[in-house]
């Protein structure tokens, strides 16, 4: 597959993740009488990954996330030369998705981007008022588990057709757990896209939503690499 095609796929896929996931939070979560709430937003994020996995998985692998790319690299499944081009495409896709969402949301009277715009945060900017320590722990652990599931679901011995479903449901579950803590990142591109439109506190706290997901993902990649090798050697 041409590298250009992979990068275009990652751009479009990450755009869809931000537009679909963050869009559900900004436009539909609290809509009077028929708002989708936490459960709906969690499902929306899972569905963006599920649908894109079937659409572009055969092209780029459907990472949509710098942490996933680095986690796959640390597991030995991603060539070094593709890591930074993937990350750049994902971040640009996240920004493009946030830009489209901003154009839509700003069409409503009274729209105020400073209200959050689905940005991730901790302390006073955590939906539930959770501390920096709680947010850091949550993002590391949730991304670790996300990568562990991705690596298992996409293993050569796993049923390939079920991988997108397992990964999409995993992301849904992660959001159900962690939206109250950080508004759920586990994805630096998703966090960056919306934070740039909010500015101020969202940009100041953005460091955590790069450091924690990448740390969790790379830890999972290294562990699964050892775990997979020891399992293969025992058979």
All structural domains of the chain, each given as residue ranges with its CATH number in brackets, are 3-106+116-227 (1.20.1080.10)
Please report, in tens digits, the pLDDT of each residue of the chain (235 residues total): 799 999 999 999 999 999 999 999 999 988 877 788 999 999 999 999 999 999 999 999 999 999 999 999 999 999 999 999 999 999 999 999 999 999 999 999 889 898 889 999 999 999 999 999 999 999 999 999 999 999 999 988 888 788 999 999 999 999 999 999 999 999 999 999 999 999 999 999 999 999 999 999 999 999 998 876 555 455 5
pLDDT of residue 20: 97
Instruction: With beta carbons less than 8 A apart as the criterion, state whether 41 and 21 touch.
Output: yes
pLDDT of residue 136: 98
pLDDT of residue 228: 64
pLDDT of residue 234: 52
> pTM, whole model, 2 decimals?
0.93
pLDDT of residue 188: 98
């Amino acid at each position: 597959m041409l590298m250009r095609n992979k990068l275009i796929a990652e751009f479009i896929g990450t755009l869809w993740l931000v537009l679909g996931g963050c869009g559900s939070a900004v436009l539909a979560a609290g809509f009077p009488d028929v708002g989708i709430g936490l459960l709906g937003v969690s499902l929306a994020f899972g569905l963006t990954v599920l649908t894109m996995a079937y659409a572009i998985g055969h092209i780029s692998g459907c990472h949509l996330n710098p942490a996933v790319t680095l986690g796959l690299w640390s597991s030995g499944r991603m060539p070094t030369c593709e890591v930074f081009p993937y990350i750049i495409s994902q971040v640009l896709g996240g920004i493009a998705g946030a830009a489209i969402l901003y154009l839509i949301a700003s069409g409503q009277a009274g729209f105020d981007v400073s209200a959050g715009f689905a940005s991730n945060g901790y302390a006073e900017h955590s939906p539930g008022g959770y501390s920096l320590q709680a947010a850091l722990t949550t993002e590391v652990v949730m991304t670790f588990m996300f990568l562990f599931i991705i690596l298992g679901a996409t293993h050569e011995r796993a049923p390939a057709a079920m991988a997108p479903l397992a990964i999409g449901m995993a992301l849904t579950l992660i959001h159900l757990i962690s939206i109250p803590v950080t508004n759920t990142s586990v994805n630096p591109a998703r966090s960056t896209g919306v934070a740039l439109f909010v500015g101020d506190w969202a940009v100041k706290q953005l460091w955590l939503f790069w450091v924690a997901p990448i740390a969790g993902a790379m830890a999972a990649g290294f562990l699964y690499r050892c775990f997979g090798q020891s399992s293969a050697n025992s058979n």
